Amino acid sequence: MQAFRIHTGLVAPLDRENVDTDAIIPKQFLKSIKKTGFGQNLFDEWRYLDPGFPGQDPTSRKPNPDFVLNQSRYKGASVLLARANFGCGSSREHAPWALDQFGFRAIIAPSFADIFFNNCFKNGLLPITLQEAAVAKLFDETAAFVGYQLTIDLERQVVVKPDGSELPFEIQPFRKYCLINGFDDIALTLRHADKIKAFEAERLLRKPWLANTV
């Protein structure tokens, strides 16, 4: 998992409330057993005018020119600005996968659905909750200034605006520790690889028949 410490990125505003996970990555793309390749179908039904299906060549599709991520001023955005209850709906982990693989490192919203919120941290994506008034002002500023960027300093737990003003945010210490160090659940376990190997070796000495168990 990619570590997150300080990130500066272009902001893309998704001005919709209650964006559910089926909108983030539609159900037909969940058939893949791989953990990669979902970014090209992020917000598929909003980004394209034609229906999408797995394995489709994205260059053959018809982009929706009115959708925010298809507008040239937001090309390469890595900070997504959203409205309340982002990530509601089903618990599919493919949603943060798609956002991450599209290029987003952080999402700022007044509130998130709980399961989506938890899944973000497990996949290196930082969800930031700010007061609704603060988010509304960020929407106004993003619309007013082309190339609007924010700097997210996770160590200091602040969002830094172009004028230097800061918006503090809360995060659980354990989640912060994992993001800063790039630890997903597997990496957390592998910190104790030596102890695990020692345990397995000692267990086989006591119960050697386990080595032949199918």
In the predicted model, is pLDDT for residue 189 greater than 80? no
Question: What are the angstrom distances between the C-alpha of 123 and each of 146, 151, 207, 210?
Answer: 30, 20, 38, 35
Q: What is the pLDDT of residues 121-163, one digit of tens each?
A: 999 999 999 999 999 999 999 999 999 999 999 999 999 999 9
In the predicted model, is pLDDT for residue 22 greater than 60? yes
Tell me what percent of the chain is helix, strand and coil, each rounded to the nearest 5.
40, 20, 40
Domains of the chain are 6-183 (3.20.19.10), 184-214 (no CATH)
Cα(95)–Cα(82) distance, rounded to whole angstroms?
Answer: 15
pLDDT at 131: 98
- Tell me the percentage of the chain whose pLDDT exceeds 90: 75
Cα(206)–Cα(200) distance, rounded to whole angstroms?
Answer: 10
Cα(197)–Cα(6) distance, rounded to whole angstroms?
Answer: 35
pLDDT at 68: 97
Q: Mean pLDDT of all residues in the chain?
A: 92
Q: What is the pLDDT of residues 73-130, one digit of tens each?
A: 999 999 999 999 999 998 889 999 999 999 999 999 999 999 999 999 999 999 999 9
Cα(130)–Cα(133) distance, rounded to whole angstroms?
Answer: 8
Tell me which of 53 and 11 has the higher pLDDT.
11
Question: What are the angstrom distances between the C-alpha of 101 and each of 45, 78, 189, 203?
Answer: 17, 10, 24, 41
Confidence of residue 204 (pLDDT cuts 50, 70, 90): confident
Amino acid at the residue 121: F
| φ, ψ for residue 22, nearest 5 deg | -70, -25
Tokens read off for 188: 């957390």
Cα(76)–Cα(147) distance, rounded to whole angstroms?
Answer: 10
Q: What is the pLDDT of residues 29-79, one digit of tens each?
A: 988 777 889 999 999 999 999 998 888 888 899 999 999 999 999 999 999
Beta carbons of 4 and 179 less than 8 angstroms apart = yes
pLDDT at 213: 58
Tell me which of 38 and 199 has the higher pLDDT.
38
